[in-house]
Homo-oligomer: A and B are copies of this chain.
């Protein structure tokens, strides 16, 4: 038996604008996403077919497909050839994205701060030199911080960056994120490859994070690439597992 089809409420598409700078497909997907979050489109319902939606809105089918595909990639919709497009059950979990911890926490209403532990130009470790594609022995900027949420330490962030960023003052990191500071300098952070694991906290980590000796930490290695495909950040981070975890949504393609 087929799930009944639900006609999209006309209201949610009332303010589509062809003149503004926002792409049509994005306006469409935003409206549908909003309708899913608000419950106007309940879990499990089947959407109208792509052609009909296009006709109703006076848009071409590829534009509608683009909008729907964006939501499929987010894990909010599933498509089935010969059947239709349905809303996925279950709560929406934001994907671990290229946003910073600062952004994460501000959304949760927590006050994020940092303390800089290390701020110096050093000879690049071999792994870093390889990632950056520079000579072994070249210099890089080495940064190590403790991150606090409402005054509680919950992460130790160690990063190696190109020397061009070494003139960022330690004070700038205390109330702003590395991600944001790098963006302001024109860096772009487009692709991030990370490995997430667990291990026992080291003695310095025990002290900095206020842990008991032998406590576990969540550990992540991360390399971030910019819009030209070059590495611009090699990071080794560790987190208090009772205060931080990674949320991931995967979609079969």
Please list the residues of chain A having a beta carbon within 8 angstroms of any beta carbon in chain B: 3, 43-44, 62, 73, 75, 77-78, 80, 86-90, 93, 95-98, 131, 133, 188-200, 214-219, 223, 225, 227-231, 241, 244-253
Contacts and interface: CB of A to CB of B under 8 A. Distances in A.
A96 to B, nearest CB: 7
A198 B223 contact: no
A62 B192 CA distance: 27
B198 A216 contact: yes
Given A44-B228, A245-B197, A246-B195, A251 B86 contact: no
A191 B227 contact: no
| Number of identical protomers | 2
Contact of A86 (B43, B228, B231, B244): B228
Contact of A193 (B86, B90, B217, B244): B90
26 contacts: A43-B133, A75-B193, A78-B227, A78-B228, A80-B227, A88-B191, A88-B225, A89-B225, A89-B230, A90-B131, A93-B193, A98-B250, A192-B249, A193-B250, A194-B247, A195-B245, A196-B218, A196-B248, A197-B245, A198-B198, A198-B216, A198-B217, A198-B219, A200-B215, A214-B214, A216-B216
A131 B225 CA distance: 37
Most chain B CB inside 10 Å of its own CB: which residue of A62, A196, A230: A196
A200 B223 contact: no
B196 A245 contact: yes
Given A198-B198, A199-B241, A217-B216, A230 B193 contact: no
